[in-house]
Amino acid sequence: MGRTLLSALLALSLSTGLGHAASPWTGGDDLPTNPLACDATPAKAAPKPYDGGQPSKAPDRKGKTLNVVDVPKLVGIGYFNATSKGIADAAKEMGTMKAKTDGPSKANIDDQITLIDNYITSGVDGILFAANDPVAISPVLKKALQAGINVVGYDANSEPGARQWFVNQAEFNGIAKTMVDSMAAEIGEEGAFAIVTSTFTTPNQARWIAEMAAYQKKCHPKMKWLETVEAQEDNILSFNQSNTLINKYGDELKGIFGMTSVATPAAADAVTQAKKCGQVAVVGLATPNAMKPYVSSGCVKSVVLWNPVDLGYAAAYVLRAVADGTLQPGATSVKAGRLGELKVINGSEVLLGSPTVFTKDNINNFDF
């Protein structure tokens, strides 16, 4: 609570001086960025040594049935319903994993920590997680490793040493390029935009935003970044924040980025209700089902995401490989059932693949 309040106060203090500041508060993190080329030239991956953690005195689990708990950021939203389905599908397919999903009802890091701690006490073989805060969650995950539990993250990372592997849905700079290029195509090279995110401490959104800022500065330097606001992955707050941006900036606002599967449809709803379709573009990360009404109406032209069912499925297979000892530090790939071989990147991450852009032409081909 204190961390979120501090972030909000900092954001407020910076945003009140936007007219005089050199650049707005973006909500990005302070880590180094690696913006991709402005054209389609692929990035060269630099090899990096394994930087994940290791469980202490883990029992031999090779081929044995694993008792696994999945603790996402929160339960009850379409995105994590989809990752949970992917985990369940993989567990059923393997036949050697019993998996359950148990997350907080809101994206609250304290509740998430309590849940994980309880499962360490009750005893599980493996923990899958999507972190609400990369730093705050790390001590309890390290406690799980010390208890001999296999730990694998997906969607939103912890500190690397607090888990063995992280399944990355797409590389951060790839998401950034796709998002910013999509927005530039809609609002032009001098258009002004704002962002609705979850919180400034949520690891994946902060990383995407940092990479977006770097890529926009490099490849679309005349675009104007107005403001980034927090919405806590709450539907009503996301709508209200989007509506506030529309009213605050008026005709200057040409686009809104939604950084969560909740914020993007809420922003599209706000634009629709404000009768600003065609005047304010919405580009964001969201599940196709949530966006179909807005894409079908023409109010939203592009939605960016990966398949979250595949993300959960891949995470379950990575956990199985870790428990079996077939995925070791230094590996370059891992087998993931129907997904085939997935690449290892950044030392201790497994890459799901490139993001997909959903448009009116293809969105009805997907059901999640």
Indicate if 183 and 271 belong to the same structural domain: yes
Closest C-alpha among 261, 72, 31, 69 to residue 156:
72
Please give the pLDDT value at position 330.
Answer: 94
Structural domain total, the chain: 2
Verify that 176 and 301 share a domain, yes or no. yes
Q: What is the pLDDT of residue 44?
A: 67
At 215, list the tokens. Answer: 């890529």
pLDDT at 87: 98
Give the alpha-carbon dihedral of 205, 206, 210, 211, to 10 degrees.
Answer: -30
The CATH number of residue 72's host domain is 3.40.50.2300
Residue 75 in any domain: the answer is yes
| Residue 240 belongs to a domain | yes
In a domain, 231, yes or no: yes
Is 106 among the domain residues?
yes
| Structural element, H or E, at residue 165 | strand 165-168
5 inside domain: no
The verdict on 214 and 294 lying in the same domain is: yes
Q: Does residue 152 surpass a pLDDT of 70?
A: yes
Is it the case that residue 11 has pLDDT exceeding 80? no
What pLDDT digit, counting tens, does each position of 63-94 carry? 999 999 999 999 999 999 999 999 999 999 99
**CA R_g for the chain:** 20
- By mean pLDDT, which of 48-52, 170-174, 221-225, 312-316 is the weakest? 170-174
Question: What are the angstrom distances between the C-alpha of 325 and each of 33, 54, 59, 95, 352?
Answer: 33, 12, 11, 18, 20
Residue 17's pLDDT band, with cuts at 50, 70 and 90, is very low
- Domain assignment of residue 292, yes or no: yes
**C-alpha dist (Å) from residue 99 to 81, 82, 86, 96:** 14, 14, 11, 10
Both 107 and 249 in one domain: the answer is: no
DSSP letter for 27, please.
Answer: -
pLDDT digits (tens, 9 = 90+) for 281-292: 999 999 999 999
Residue 46, pLDDT score: 67
pLDDT digits (tens, 9 = 90+) for 342-357: 999 999 999 998 788 8
- In this prediction, residue 41 carries a pLDDT of 81
Residues 159 and 278 in one domain: no
Mean of pLDDT over the chain: 91
* Distance in angstroms (rounded) separating the CA atoms of residues 89 and 206: 30
CA dihedral sign of residues 54, 105, 204, 12:
negative
Work out the average pLDDT over 36-57.
86
Q: Indicate whether 135 and 177 sit together in one domain.
A: no
Q: Convert the pLDDT of each residue in 128-150 to its tens digit.
A: 999 999 999 999 999 999 999 99
Residue 23 is predicted with a pLDDT of 53
- pTM for the full predicted model: 0.82
Alpha-carbon gap, residue 144 to 285, rounded angstroms: 31
Count the Cβ atoms, other than its own, within 10 Å of residue 32: 7
pLDDT, average across residues 327-351: 96
Give residue-wise pLDDT tens across range 235-268: 999 999 999 999 999 999 999 999 999 999 999 9
According to the model, what pLDDT value does residue 45 have?
60
Residues 6 or more apart in contact with residue 363 via CB below 8 angstroms: 288, 291, 292, 295, 296, 303
Residue 270 covered by a domain? yes
Based on the fold, state whether residues 283 and 269 are members of the same structural domain: yes
Q: Are residues 162 and 252 in the same domain?
A: no
* Residue 47 included in any domain: no
Domain of residue 105: give its range: 66-170+307-353
